[in-house]
Amino acid sequence: MTELRSAVSRLRRRLAAHPGEFADRTIAEEELAALAAMAADGIPETPCLRRSLLLIAGAIGSVSALSADLTEVRRAVDLFGGPVRGQG
């Protein structure tokens, strides 16, 4: 849980500081807030985590400055249920 909270917090800070605008920024911000809430409320359901991760990746996946932080969020989500089929 600690890793998820830390990774989400880092990505939220980096996204807030990112100067560029992109079409799906609001989606990324909303889903990061949802992930933070799930992490704060206890053990979240893996399908909900994965759904938020997918939406975040789709929203900011092309912003290379955020890719390392996004990878850390994905790794933290994977701790709740292992990698998605086809990813390892």
pLDDT per residue as tens digits for the range 21-53: 888 999 999 999 999 999 898 888 899 999 999
Residues in Cβ contact with 67 at an 8 Å cutoff, skipping those fewer than 6 apart: 61
Q: What is the band of 70 on the pLDDT scale with cuts at 50, 70, 90?
A: very high
What letter does residue 1 receive in the DSSP assignment?
-
What letter does residue 42 receive in the DSSP assignment?
S
- 88 vs 7, higher pLDDT: 7
Cα(84)–Cα(22) distance, integer angstroms: 27
Q: What pLDDT score was predicted for residue 57? A: 94
Q: What is the band of 88 on the pLDDT scale with cuts at 50, 70, 90?
A: very low
**pLDDT mean across residues, the chain:** 89
